[in-house]
Copies of this chain bind each other. A is one copy, B any other.
Amino acid sequence: MPRESSLKRREPTTQFEAPELMFAELDGLLGYLLRRAQGAMHRDFMAAVSDFELTQKQAAALWLIHANGGVSQVEVAAALGMDRATMMAVTDRLEDRGFIIRKRSSVDRRRQELYLTPSGQSTLKKCKARIAEHEEKFRDMFTASELAALLEALKKFQTLG
């Protein structure tokens, strides 16, 4: 069957078929490619940890609270680059699900310390195993030196964020 030449008359056979549009350099933009790459990895992350119903932000918070028992909400937010409102929503959700507890500091009564519950610890452990597989899948696309260069390049973005 001859390929149709006119875009206007072309009907994609499924909604997932990517039509051959003119990108007019959009797909050469660093910002565009970064967003698409993050979108791809985000979808795979959500599928990998779907049993636990954790978002990337919630998983990262759980990870950091575990590694820094007694840390405050403000400290986790700063380390992860989240604003106050986002961090509040994340910790509320993790607390509601019984994964973390808030404890008032015995040293400074104004300070609330965050800790993982046993359920939070067990979930994080299982979640980390899934994340490791998910990471591996993407890392495997690169040679060791390509991967090292990519990680180094990605770290630089935070200096401009």
Measured CB to CB, the residues of A under 8 A from B are: 7-9, 11-12, 15-19, 21-24, 26, 28-45, 56, 60, 63-64, 66-68, 70-71, 74-79, 81, 84, 105, 107-108, 111, 113, 131, 134-135, 137-139, 141-142, 146-147, 149-151, 153-161
Contacts and interface: CB of A to CB of B under 8 A. Distances in A.
Contacts of A77: 15
The 3 closest A-B CB pairs, nearest first, are A40-B161, A37-B157, A24-B67
Given A8-B107, A12-B75, A28-B151, A157 B138 contact: yes
Contact of A78 (B12, B31, B107, B158): B12
A7 B74 CA distance: 13
A12 B77 CA distance: 12
10 contacts: A15-B84, A21-B76, A31-B131, A35-B38, A35-B41, A37-B38, A37-B158, A38-B38, A39-B161, A150-B150
Contacts of A71: 7, 19, 21
Nearest to A156: B141
Contacts of A138: 30-31, 157, 160
